[in-house]
Amino acid sequence: MRNMVCVMVLIFGLSCGTADAQDRGGRSGRASRAPQREDGPPGFPGQGGMRPPSFPIVSNLDTNGDGILDSDEIAKAAEVLRKLDRNGDGKLTEDEYLPFPPGRPGAFEEQENQRGDAPDGRRRSARGVRGGPPNAEAGARPSDFESSPLAKDDAEQKILDVLEDMNKAGRNMMSVPHDDGRFLRMLAESVAPENVVEIGTSQGYSAIWLCLALRTFGGKLTTFEVDAERAALARKNFKRAGVESLVTLIEGDAHEEIGKLKDPIDLLFIDADKEGYRDYLEKLLPLLRPGGLIVAHNMNLQQADPRYVKAITTNPKLETLFIHVGQSGIGMTLKKR
């Protein structure tokens, strides 16, 4: 009993230290965390949200990931804390007890060695919390061991080279991040859409990622851009990449121009004025074939239009999933068959 009390006192002290360390993020070299919302929606910290996030030190002790410290976990707490002390100095530093220090490298092999079955028989993640990201001790983050795209032929290499140049030169252009572009390509190649519509061409970066897939099965892309300068730049980039035959670029206000579309749509990608997303949805949903997909970019708390979110999450004919490939956030909506 005495040992249990000592362990719990230590946990409480470290937890308080963790909270203080997170508040001092900039001084410790870590990226500062976003302030807590006071009136967050359900599922987010704040008055309107669910339970607040647990202290990192407690996550290390919760070996079966059920959010509760049972008697066995409490009994083994001292052993777990000793294992966290990687340098054996008898103290636990911030880097040792925080679950996944941002940007901290690790060995992928160590991550695999840490995996195993939890006491309840379920597979646990590298840090012992189901679905949790790996930590420095357990292994690298996914972004640490992802590889760059590999070209299967010279034509694909040419496109990838153009995309790399655009990514370096167009930092201030309104384009999707690199990983989101890769996601679009993988999605398009897996579902093989014949007719793709994009709202918001910008310099053509996301369109070229889509064309990497479309070129393999003969699909076509119609993309809309309201800004004449960006439209001209996009046309040049399409030609540089050798995909101009796959793309029809319509210059003008998409809210007006999309009314001229007649053919069924297999895949719709929206990355334009956020307040206009619902209008695009209402006008193009009738053209989206059953089984077709709507991919909406910038679906995060700061940018997503609540009216669009409500429209895609309350329609029984639609099924929506929100995906976070990077920081932007993607909403993927299926039109049910």
Residue 254 burial by CB count (10 A; 0-12/13-18/19+): exposed, middle or buried? Answer: buried
Element (H, E) at 79: helix 77-84
pLDDT tens digit string along 143-191? 566 678 889 999 999 999 999 999 888 665 678 999 999 999 999 999 9
How many domains are there within the chain? Answer: 2
Is 110's pLDDT higher than 70? no
Average pLDDT over residues 36-45: 40
Higher pLDDT, 249 or 67: 249
> 59 is written with which tokens?
């996550």
pLDDT-derived band at 96 (thresholds 50, 70, 90) equals low
Is 61's pLDDT higher than 80? no
Q: Which residues contact 136 (CB under 8 A, 6 or more apart)?
A: 95, 100, 101, 104, 105, 106
> Do residue 126 and residue 183 come from a single domain?
no
Q: What is the dihedral of CA 145, 209, 297, 34, to 10 degrees?
A: 30
Domain that holds residue 273: 154-335
> Do residue 17 and residue 161 come from a single domain?
no
The pLDDT assigned to 265 comes to 99
Answer with the one of 122, 145, 168 that is the final residue of a domain. 145
Question: Which among 163, 331, 203, 191 is positioned nearest to 267, based on CA atoms?
Answer: 191
The pLDDT assigned to 90 comes to 78
* Tally of helices (H runs) and strands (E runs) in the chain: 14, 9
Question: Which among 212, 206, 221 is positioned nearest to 159, based on CA atoms?
Answer: 212
> Do residue 121 and residue 179 come from a single domain?
no
> Do residue 285 and residue 158 come from a single domain?
yes
> Do residue 316 and residue 198 come from a single domain?
yes
The pLDDT assigned to 81 comes to 78
> Do residue 170 and residue 318 come from a single domain?
yes
The pLDDT assigned to 131 comes to 38
The pLDDT assigned to 6 comes to 52
Average pLDDT over residues 256-263: 98
pLDDT tens digit string along 269-317? 999 999 999 999 999 999 999 999 999 999 988 899 999 999 999 999 9
Is 142's pLDDT higher than 90? no
Q: Which of 4-18, 58-72, 307-321 has the highest mean pLDDT?
A: 307-321
- Residue for token pair 């918001």: 200
CATH code for the domain of 231:
3.40.50.150
> Do residue 13 and residue 81 come from a single domain?
yes
Higher pLDDT, 132 or 209: 209
pLDDT-derived band at 95 (thresholds 50, 70, 90) equals low
> Do residue 13 and residue 107 come from a single domain?
yes
> Do residue 198 and residue 101 come from a single domain?
no
The pLDDT assigned to 74 comes to 83
- Angle CA 77–82–84, to nearest 5: 95
Poorest-pLDDT segment among 9-13, 46-50, 253-257, 270-274: 46-50
Question: Which among 208, 191, 201, 294 is positioned nearest to 246, based on CA atoms?
Answer: 208
pLDDT tens digit string along 212-230? 999 999 999 999 999 999 9
> Do residue 211 and residue 285 come from a single domain?
yes
Question: Which among 256, 309, 315 is positioned nearest to 285, based on CA atoms?
Answer: 315
Query: Distance (Å, rounded) from C-alpha 206 to C-alpha 176?
Result: 6
The pLDDT assigned to 222 comes to 99
Answer with the one of 145, 164, 199 that is the final residue of a domain. 145
> Do residue 46 and residue 195 come from a single domain?
no
On average, the pLDDT of the chain sits at 76
> 179 is written with which tokens?
């990983």
Radius of gyration of the chain (CA): 24
> 165 is written with which tokens?
């140049």
Q: Residue type for 75, please? A: A
Average pLDDT over residues 90-105: 55
Percent of the chain topping pLDDT 90: 49
Helix (H, G, I), strand (E, B) or coil at 196: strand
pLDDT-derived band at 67 (thresholds 50, 70, 90) equals low
In the chain, helix, strand, coil percent, each to 5? Answer: 40, 15, 45
Phi, psi torsion values for 322, nearest 5 degrees:
-100, 130
Average pLDDT over residues 21-42: 40
Decide: 7 and 78 in contact? Cβ < 8 Å.
yes
Give the dihedral sign, CA 60/64/67/71.
Answer: negative
Answer with the one of 98, 128, 145 that is the final residue of a domain. 145
The pLDDT assigned to 79 comes to 78
The pLDDT assigned to 214 comes to 98
> Do residue 214 and residue 278 come from a single domain?
yes
